[in-house]
Structure 1
Amino acid sequence: MNQSFIISAPEKASVLGIILSVRVNDLKIGWQTKPISDLIMIKGVRGYSCLYWSDGSKQMMAYTIKHYADQLPTNDFLRVHQNCVINRKFVQKAQLTHRGPLLRLATGTEIIISRRRWTMVKKELQHLYVGG
């Protein structure tokens, strides 16, 4: 994939301090601003964050997952694990399996939910909860 690491700060809403869009760099296209509504999830990787987008692209950002989690709107995004924040609109199902609690996203990806956060996630996504 032809993306580079980003070191610039995300654009912020002027009053609320909530991220509305993120500037990312694709080596083929160049700098662009993507709306957070197209953001499927953010995974933390050793002090960096990997942003996964609805168009199938992903970018590594030189910020921690906490940096984004603190600024994303809580009614749209949910921290389900120490290393993962998901966009609620992409969640299809929440369930308790033999492997533990997990979410199935619209992309087919399964995300494991930490045991510590399972009660909160189940409550927040109760309309999508299946079983157990």
Structure 2
Amino acid sequence: MKALIVEDKAYIRKGLVSLLQSIDFEVQVVGECESVEDALVVTRSCRPDLIFLDINLTDGTAFDFLERTEDLSFKVIFITAYEEYALKALKAGAADYLLKPVDIEELKAALEKVAQLPVAEQRVHIKTAKAAWHSDASKLILSLHDSFQVVDLNELLYCESDKGYTTFYCTNGKSHLVSKTLKEFEARLVAFNFIRPHQSYMVNLKFIDKYDKSGVIHLKTGTTIPVSSRKKDHFIATFLNKNSE
């Protein structure tokens, strides 16, 4: 069985390859990717039988990849960190998944399950999982110091990162500080209409009032966000494209 690993964290990919080499199951890893775009290219060229597919990738989600795949002729095992909504979606769709860090016994069980699952039946499972995932995709659970906070991404203005911490600013005036980097949330937010105009910020496109060509974003709340010179062209292209729709 030829397998492709699509996962945005190198150490997870490396660990999964090591586990696959140590079990009594004929799996040949033919490629590794960290983004939707790379996965599409490698899938077309290598034609894998099985894809280990992370939910959140560097430029989108697993479901973005599946939507753009021309021929869904491979099996899928989702990989996810423990997030309530992601697990709910995958269980709803009866699609198989592995929790990070990947456990060897769970890996064996998942391989045995997908090996016997007809591709046609899997397509139905994935469609159900996608619908369930999208129904809760607007909710993000933040692990705070003393609680878990549910944030509606429709009401999230922007995020600001500083020295390994990220602050989430909401339309109700509340803010939430988490001890994670902005990078860890980037793929999820990009998939929900956010953009990263600066290394320290991610902004909800729907709350942008205007952009000064000097390199400053003005939000509808009056907050200003800088745009770095390195990210300026990408931001302008995305901003203009969004507002021409």
TM over 0.5: yes
* Structure with the higher strand share, 1 or 2: 1
For normalisation by structure 2, the TM-score amounts to 0.42
For normalisation by structure 1, the TM-score amounts to 0.73
- Aligned mates of 2:237, 2:229 — CA distance in 1: 14
1:110 maps to amino acid:
T
Report the counterpart of residue 213 of structure 2 in structure 1.
96
1:63 aligned to 2:180? yes
* Structure with the higher helix share, 1 or 2: 2
Report the counterpart of residue 161 of structure 2 in structure 1.
44
Report SS of the residue matched to 1:70: helix
- Aligned mates of 1:72, 1:114 — CA distance in 2: 19
- Aligned mates of 2:192, 2:169 — CA distance in 1: 19
Q: Name the % identity.
A: 22
Report the counterpart of residue 232 of structure 2 in structure 1.
118
1:20 aligned to 2:134? no
Q: 1:11 deviation in Å?
A: 4.5
- Aligned mates of 1:36, 1:11 — CA distance in 2: 16
Q: 1:73 deviation in Å?
A: 3.8
Structure with the greater alpha carbon radius of gyration = 2
Which runs of 5 or more structure 2 residues have no equivalent in the other structure?
1-81, 90-128
1:89 maps to amino acid:
K
Give the structure, 1 or 2, with the largest relative contact order (CA under 8 Å, sep 6 or more). 1
Report the counterpart of residue 87 of structure 1 in structure 2.
204
Aligned residues: 116
2:223 maps to amino acid:
T
Which runs of 5 or more structure 1 residues have no equivalent in the other structure?
1-8
Sort the Cα spacing of 1:63 and 1:32 in 2 relative to 1 into closer, same or farther, 3 A: closer
Q: 1:34 deviation in Å?
A: 2.3
**How large is the Cα RMSD of the aligned pairs?**
2.8
